[in-house]
Amino acid sequence: MERENFGSKIGAVLAAAGSAVGLGNVWRFPIETGQNGGAAFIIIYVLCIILLGLPIMISEFLIGRHTHANTAGAFRIISNGSPWKWVGRMGVFTGWFILCYYVVVGAWTMHYTFLSAINAFYDVPAKQYEDVFNNFVSNPWLPTFWLFLFIGVIHYVITRGVRSGIEKSAKLMMPTLFIITIFLAVCSVSLPGASLGIEFLLKPDWSKVNSTTILDAMGQAFYSLSLAMGCLCTYASYFDKKTPLAKSAVNVAFIDTLIAIMAGFIIFPSVFNIGMNPNEVGVGAGLTFVSLPNVFQQALGNGSFLAVIFSSLFYFLLFVAALTSAISLHEVATAYVTEEFKMSRRNGATLVTVSILVLGTLCSLSFGPLSDVKLFDRNIFSLFDDLSGRVLLPLGGMLISIFAGWVLDRQLYREEISNGGDLRTPYFKVLIFALRYIAPLAIGLVFLDQIGVFNLIPH
Ligand code: PHE
Per-residue pLDDT reduced to its tens digit, 251-285: 999 999 999 999 999 999 999 999 988 888 888 88
For the full predicted model, state whether its pTM sits above 0.85.
yes
Sign of CA dihedral 161, 163, 167, 171: negative
The C-alpha atoms of residue 425 and residue 431 are separated, in whole angstroms, by 10
**Sequence-distant (≥ 6) Cβ neighbours of residue 123 within 8 angstroms:** 302, 303
Identify which of 154, 256, 325 to mutate to test ligand 1's pocket (most ligand atoms within 8 A of the CB).
325
Q: What's the pLDDT tens digit per position in 218-251? A: 888 988 999 988 999 999 999 999 999 999 999 9
Ligand 1 center to 120 CA (angstroms): 29
80-115 burial, b at 16+ Cβ within 10 Å, e below that, comes to eeeebbebbbbbbbbbbbbbbbbbbbbbbbbbbbeb
Q: Which of 127, 100, 145, 175 is nearest to 363 (CA)?
A: 100
The C-alpha atoms of residue 317 and residue 413 are separated, in whole angstroms, by 37
- Residue predicted with more confidence, 165 or 215: 165
Residue 455 has pLDDT above 60, yes or no: no
Identify which of 223, 233, 235, 317 to mutate to test ligand 1's pocket (most ligand atoms within 8 A of the CB).
223
The C-alpha atoms of residue 16 and residue 245 are separated, in whole angstroms, by 12
The answer to whether the beta carbons of residues 381 and 100 sit under 8 Å apart is: no
Closest residue CA from atom 2 of ligand 1: 22
For residue 378, report the phi and psi dihedrals to the nearest 5 degrees: -125, 150
Closest residue CA from atom 7 of ligand 1: 226
233-243 burial, b at 16+ Cβ within 10 Å, e below that, comes to bbbbbbbeeeb
**In the chain, what's the furthest Cα-to-Cα distance?**
65
Mean pLDDT for all residues in the chain: 93
Residue-level pLDDT at 378? 83
Give me the numbers of helices (H) and strands (E) for the chain, helices first please.
23, 0
Ligand 1 site residues (CB inside 6 A) read 19-20, 22-25, 98, 223-224, 226, 229, 231, 325, 328-329
Ligand 1 center to 344 CA (angstroms): 27
Q: Looking at the chain, how many residues does it have?
A: 459
The C-alpha atoms of residue 310 and residue 191 are separated, in whole angstroms, by 13
Confidence band of 189 (pLDDT split at 50, 70, 90): very high
Ligand 1 center to 235 CA (angstroms): 14
Ligand 1 center to 234 CA (angstroms): 14
Tell me the average pLDDT across 46-55. 95
The C-alpha atoms of residue 224 and residue 321 are separated, in whole angstroms, by 12
Confidence band of 454 (pLDDT split at 50, 70, 90): low
Q: Which of 273, 291, 272, 275 is nearest to 283 (CA)?
A: 291
Ligand 1 center to 421 CA (angstroms): 33
Q: How far is CA 376 from CA 76, 373, 444, 447, in A?
A: 33, 10, 23, 19
Ligand 1 center to 230 CA (angstroms): 11
The C-alpha atoms of residue 155 and residue 215 are separated, in whole angstroms, by 36
**Percentage, residues of the chain above pLDDT 70:** 98
Q: What's the pLDDT tens digit per position in 89-134? A: 999 999 998 999 999 999 999 999 999 999 999 999 999 999 999 9
